[in-house]
Structure 1
Amino acid sequence: MRVDLPGSGRGWMARPWRRLLRATADRVTWLDRIRNERRLRRQMQDALGYAPDLRHPRTFNERIARKILDDRNPLIPLTLDKVAVRDWVAGRIGEAFLVPLFGVWERARDIPWDDLPSRFVAKTNHGCAYNILVSDKASQDREAVIRQLDAWMAENYYDCAREWGYRSIPRRILVEEFLRGRQGGVPEDYKLFVFGGQPRLLKVIHGRFTPEERHFYYDPQTFQPLDIGCFRPADYPGDAGPPPEARQLHDLAARLGAPFDAVRVDFYLIDGRPLFGELTHYTGAASLSLGSYEKDLEVGEMWAEALRLKGKAGAARRRWPGRAGQPAPG
């Protein structure tokens, strides 16, 4: 029979020591960084099937991991906050692109349920996938919605995801209009990957929250299907690709993505009109399946190329003497 001695790191001493180490890492920046990097490596290895190189990142997911660990752009927490981002988006592209909002509350029980329409979306502002779609208020269990919102409000999403931008977001509940898609259900999701201020990849999600959900990738300017991810438009002859109205999204995403090295900008198209969904800085938590290591590398190179071009354009503007009011080339 094996007996673990005090100080051996096992048995009755293991849990207190782990709690102490976690508490210390929470307060000491460099320890927290080491812990987060180790966690990311394990997570990515399990999800993607390759050992990530976080010292010399090349793939899309390796670059997202470095963004999680290093990028401290102060706009990241603001734009992850689903309440605060609304004013920021309105200032850059206009209020007309915001989903109608019924209200913001700090407690679920303060929501005036009886005053809400029959369909709405309730969500919290401080995390990912904290959404409840209420398609029929009359048949919805009100107490279940309140319990779920309270549970999310009790969580700090940073403790789950270890993604810096979520660490200090003040927690609130918001209720938005339930958007109807072309078939009356949840609308398609248009996600533009913006690198160096330029949209380089468009992902369209059909059939969200259904067994028929599928994800297609396109060139965001030509709408040419791309061989990325697990689904191919060619395997679904009924898919005609993005509608012509989706061409509006390119410039809108570029304006919203300009302050960041990389960000994903999400939109809906409702009767041909773009509505802003969210900004995502940590797409897939550095574990997004793109179909293969080679495809992951291909998207990572899109990111790197966009930053190189952005750097060259910035250098040209700085060198151009010109005359007053005369812009630099490009």
Structure 2
Amino acid sequence: MSIKSKLRRLYYSCFHASQKLLGYPRAHKVFMTFHGYPLDLENPLAHNEWIVHKMIKDRNPLLVETADKVRVRNYVKRKLGKELSDQVLIPVYHISDSVEKIPFSKLPEEYFMKANHFSGANKLVTSNDKPSEIQKLAKSWLDSTYRQKDHEWAYGQIKPRVLFEKVLRTPNGKIPQDIKFYFWHGRLKMILFVEDRYEDMRWFFCDENFKEIKGAQVHDVKGADEARIPTNISEMKELAAKLASDFDYCRIDLYEIEGKIFFGEITHYTGGGCWQFSDINTDYVLGQFWKKENLDKNYFELYKEFEKSNNFQPIN
């Protein structure tokens, strides 16, 4: 570990210690700014409150392993076995902790470059990209931390690396649909279908039975009219459930091309507790799934119950 990295870790250790001593004032301020209601860390109710609670309180080492885009591959192998994991893991061309070690001459014309310790740090690289610019971007990722001031603990425990991954494409040359499965205590309760991420991105949220959850849409993202459901969606659900079984909450991202399933990532801090749902009541309803006693109910049953509570806010 470099001196710079050691100093960075020391700084954030001191930062987190001071925030804990003061009652996490930054987390409270950021939360109020995004949502307009106060954060309750002791008795979280809304889903976003639970996410922040998890970031600050949960120190399960599996969070670190599965948030790491390199080490998560070993987790997938343990959970699914060698034969199935070999089928679903996307081929990786190279993994490096230094930009000087990137073997450009051995890489294909296109690939995804990703940072293993970030959420959202990925670039589709083509022959039009200059190696010097790719190195510059990779170095910026390797030298950076991810949301440590926002208490996303797991990312701060990961050794920074960049990986170079095969680009999945459908027969017509498009990036495949991204299907995100939301689990609470191992039970699937919501699915997000993401279409045309790199062209005209559209989202469709639904429950486990594909009934649309309109209130889960977030600002600045277009909604899709319907979900494009793969014929092997049941198999995808089962695979995702195996990967989610160790956690109180997580999101499992999968892809599907002509019946073949591919693993994307496991996410624990969705939105960092900052996603603003189009219906604030959805935030509270999804929060009820963090309590095991509600797992036999679906989203719409819980929504009807929540309508009768004092916290319900009528939508205009």
8 Å CA contact retained: 1:64, 1:286: yes
Aligned with residue 238 of structure 2, among 251, 269, 273:
251
Instruction: Determine the C-alpha separation between the residues in 2 that align with 1:38 and 1:181.
Output: 47
Aligned with residue 207 of structure 2, among 189, 202, 219:
219
Instruction: Determine the C-alpha separation between the residues in 2 that align with 1:182 and 1:275.
Output: 15
% identity of equivalent residues = 29
Aligned residue for 1:42, secondary structure, equals helix
- State whether structure 2 residue 98 is matched by structure 1 residue 111: no
TM-score by length of structure 2 reads 0.81
Q: Count residues in correspondence.
A: 280
Instruction: Determine the C-alpha separation between the residues in 2 that align with 1:84 and 1:236.
Output: 33
- Report the counterpart of residue 89 of structure 1 in structure 2: 76
Deviation, 1:100, is 0.9
Q: 1:240 to 1:154 in 2, by over 3 A?
A: closer
- Report the counterpart of residue 4 of structure 1 in structure 2: none
Instruction: Determine the C-alpha separation between the residues in 2 that align with 1:24 and 1:132.
Output: 29
Deviation, 1:30, is 4.2
Instruction: Determine the C-alpha separation between the residues in 1 that align with 2:237 and 2:201.
Output: 24
Aligned with residue 29 of structure 2, among 42, 58, 66:
42
Q: 1:181 to 1:285 in 2, by over 3 A?
A: farther
- State whether structure 2 residue 192 is matched by structure 1 residue 200: no
- Report the counterpart of residue 147 of structure 1 in structure 2: 136
Q: State the one-letter code of the partner of 2:20.
A: R
Instruction: Determine the C-alpha separation between the residues in 2 that align with 1:285 and 1:292.
Output: 18
Q: 1:270 to 1:78 in 2, by over 3 A?
A: same
Deviation, 1:198, is 1.2
Deviation, 1:279, is 0.7
Instruction: Determine the C-alpha separation between the residues in 2 that align with 1:262 and 1:117.
Output: 37
Q: State the one-letter code of the partner of 2:47.
A: F
Deviation, 1:43, is 1.8
- Report the counterpart of residue 15 of structure 1 in structure 2: none
Instruction: Determine the C-alpha separation between the residues in 2 that align with 1:55 and 1:121.
Output: 40
8 Å CA contact retained: 1:89, 1:256: yes
- Report the counterpart of residue 14 of structure 1 in structure 2: none
8 Å CA contact retained: 2:187, 2:295: no
Instruction: Determine the C-alpha separation between the residues in 2 that align with 1:71 and 1:245.
Output: 34
- Report the counterpart of residue 306 of structure 2 in structure 1: none
Aligned residue for 1:228, secondary structure, equals helix
Deviation, 1:272, is 2.2
Instruction: Determine the C-alpha separation between the residues in 1 that align with 2:235 and 2:275.
Output: 26
Deviation, 1:262, is 0.6
TM-score by length of structure 1 reads 0.78
- Report the counterpart of residue 298 of structure 1 in structure 2: 285
8 Å CA contact retained: 2:277, 2:283: yes
8 Å CA contact retained: 2:44, 2:50: yes
8 Å CA contact retained: 1:215, 1:229: no
Instruction: Determine the C-alpha separation between the residues in 2 that align with 1:305 and 1:54.
Output: 19
Instruction: Determine the C-alpha separation between the residues in 1 that align with 2:26 and 2:129.
Output: 38
Deviation, 1:125, is 0.8
Aligned with residue 288 of structure 1, among 247, 271, 275:
275
Structure 1: where are the runs of 5+ without partners? 1-21, 310-330
Structure 2: where are the runs of 5+ without partners? 1-8, 297-316
8 Å CA contact retained: 1:207, 1:213: yes
Aligned residue for 1:276, secondary structure, equals strand
Q: State the one-letter code of the partner of 2:207.
A: D
Larger Rg: 1
